[in-house]
Amino acid sequence: MELLQHENRLIQLRAKLNERGIKLWEVPYLTPERQSHEAEVLKLAGQLGPELGISTELCLEGLTALQRNALEKLQAKDEFQKTGIATVRIRAPTQTGSNREFDLKVKITEQGSHLCELIGHRLSLDARKIKLVCSGKIISALHPLQEQKVTNGSTVMALVLAHSEEEAKRECSTYDRVHKIRTDAEMLINENDSSNFLSLEDQSGNAIYLPKDEKKSLLMALTLYEKGKAAMKTGNFEEALLLLLEADHDFRSCNSQLLDVVDNYALLNLDIVWCYLCLKNLNQLPDAEQRLKVCELKFQQSYGKNMQRVTAIRGEQSNEKILLVRLHLLKAVLFYHQNKRDDARTMFRVVETELLKLRIDDDCLSRLMECGYSMKESRIALRACSNDVEASIEFIHNRRQTRETNEKRSVRERKLYKVIDHDATAGERIKLELVDQLMEMGYPEELAGLALKKSANDINGALNELETNGAALQKELLRTVSVDRELRQQLETLGFDGEIAKLALKLTANDYDRATNYLLANVQNGRYSEELLRAIAEWNRTKAACKPAAAADTPSSSADGRPSTSKGTAKSSTPEEDDGAQREEKKRKKEMLDILFKSFSQDIRTTDENSHLDLQLDEEGKLLEQYKKLLGMDTDQ
């Protein structure tokens, strides 16, 4: 609070000096020897103090600090023009809420790594463990500072911790953790849907399909963002800010219009500015202002102006209003530090009103939790329903039902796409409603989906395809369906031949009941029906057509039945051995990825898709009271 009060005095004094055109670095406030004229500065403090409600002593302290700062800037500017050596202000936020600040001199033609070395030497830290941020961007160690818009007078944030033995260990781990998080995320994402972690859904559980490259960038951005939010939750704002800025870089690689209608990027910018505030890094104001503008614009695109779109869909039961509280609070803080005091007062009053509306009744919360609902969903429901317990219960059940329905739909959709080999990122999504209509007419789901794929969701065209080209559709299923090994084993235990069981599962898209009925109808006393024999012949032709051209060079059988090659001493692996080796490799890779995934996602799973709607608002309330006191708003009422 003392730091904010000191900055408050400087803001007011700076504004008053600018208003009157007073330059503390010129006569009469400076002697010919370029020293401070203490008598004149004291006289000025006596004039300005009463006008601003500041004691003469504190006013003199503030004027002296402003004069010293102005002279240092002039000297640095002159040195930069003559020698090219820039003076850069370094701010190193700490978990204790204080900041280590100092100036460093560096040539802007040097790489970012050189500045890290200078800072590391000054702070007695390993330079490799320091990350620098300037104007909302992480400074690359491999590029010149001038290419990264670092110049004379720039303020650079050095993300390190307070210098104690325990914190120094944590300090060194921050860089390593962020680097490892990105490396692990890249490995998982490059495996492309190797686990449920790597699927995209909206907040209601609906699947989202994007072009492959864009999906990769968006997955990386969302993954790093989730890890950043997990770090924020534990109060590790240094690591959080690094991860959020990394996520920002990946979000900017996404060209899809999807970012214009979803709120993830808006929330990311909001969280970055919140980290600036928590790290007491108010020198990033230009970047903070731009990010809040982006956030406000994205909220309008996602939710509509004044939440109109959300209200139209959900009525007044909209938890998204809680996001506006933090946005308005940060805007108010920004106005304050820009000395736009009237705007700040107005916005702080808006925040105060919003906080009152979102306050949760403790008795209502207890009643809901006694009914078995979690604290998180209870808070979200009570805020949405203005502390009406009965309405909150209905709200919770509706949300659960909607989520469950959409998740089932997404699982079904992905399964169908896999069966019929449909790439939704390159083509049109198949409408499940039309699939259901065809299934009501007696067609299997996979054939209905395949027909709709070929007819581009034209149900009449799909019907025509099913009636006139059913054999070709069945043939395509033989190519696309991957047989479930467990189901095949179950059919084998019933006495069916393994290859015939595999064929039945392909034809029925791994539907065990349908596959069993198919086999019972077409296998009698070990004899196969004409239909099954035709299917076997078609499958053999399909397998032959899928063999690689290189098969011509594979070993052929000699007269004695043994494999032969052009060189009699060479050994040849059988297809069964190749399949076994591939299965072992896939198993080993899957085990490795599962271990990596569990390690990687353990702290993400402490949050869910609604975590951004469950802000407790305690910190917001404290900040509101702090700034109200600084602005004298308590005395205004």
- pLDDT tens string 82-108: 999 999 999 887 655 556 889 999 999
Residues of the chain with CATH 3.10.20.90: 84-164
Residue environment code for 357-367, b if the CB has 16+ CB neighbours within 10 A, otherwise e: ebebeeebbeb
Which segments in the chain show pLDDT lower than 50? 161-172, 193-198, 313, 315-317, 549-573, 595-597, 599-600, 604-607, 637
Please tell me the predicted confidence (pLDDT) of residue 79: 92
Give the span between the Cα atoms of 515 and 121, in whole angstroms: 71
Distances (CA, A) of 557 to 77, 181, 544, 570, 630: 85, 52, 17, 14, 91
One of 3.40.50.2000, 3.10.20.90, 3.20.20.140, 3.40.1160.10 is the CATH number of 84-164, namely 3.10.20.90
Strands (E), 487-607: 523-524, 527-528, 556-557, 563-564
Please tell me the predicted confidence (pLDDT) of residue 555: 36
Structure tokens at 624: 């509101």
Distances (CA, A) of 514 to 81, 249, 409, 462, 589: 82, 50, 22, 22, 33
Give the span between the Cα atoms of 538 and 542, in whole angstroms: 6
Please tell me the predicted confidence (pLDDT) of residue 427: 61
Structure tokens at 27: 């006569």
Cβ neighbours, 10 Å, residue 524: 9
Residues of the chain with CATH 1.10.8: 422-480, 485-528
Beta bridge partners of residue 133, listed in sequence order: 138, 157
- Identity of the residue numbered 473: L
Global confidence as pTM: 0.66
Beta bridge partners of residue 91, listed in sequence order: 101, 157
Write the DSSP string, 514-526: HHHHHHHHHEETT
Tell me: domain 485-528, CATH 1.10.8, correct?
yes
Give the span between the Cα atoms of 527 and 497, in whole angstroms: 12
Distances (CA, A) of 486 to 492, 493, 582, 622: 10, 11, 18, 58
Write down the H helix ranges in 358-388.
Answer: 362-370, 375-384
DSSP tag of 109: T
Please tell me the predicted confidence (pLDDT) of residue 559: 36
> Nearest Cα to 463, choosing from 432, 429, 437?
437
Q: Is-contact 90 159, C-beta < 8 A? A: no
Quick one: CATH architecture of 171-359+614-618? Answer: Alpha Horseshoe (1.25)
Write down the H helix ranges in 200-340.
Answer: 212-233, 237-251, 264-278, 285-303, 308-314, 321-337
The CATH T-level fold of domain 422-480 is Helicase, Ruva Protein; domain 3 (1.10.8)
Distances (CA, A) of 69 to 16, 64, 573: 17, 9, 78
Give the span between the Cα atoms of 158 and 150, in whole angstroms: 14
Q: Is 91 helix (H, G, I), strand (E, B) or coil?
A: strand
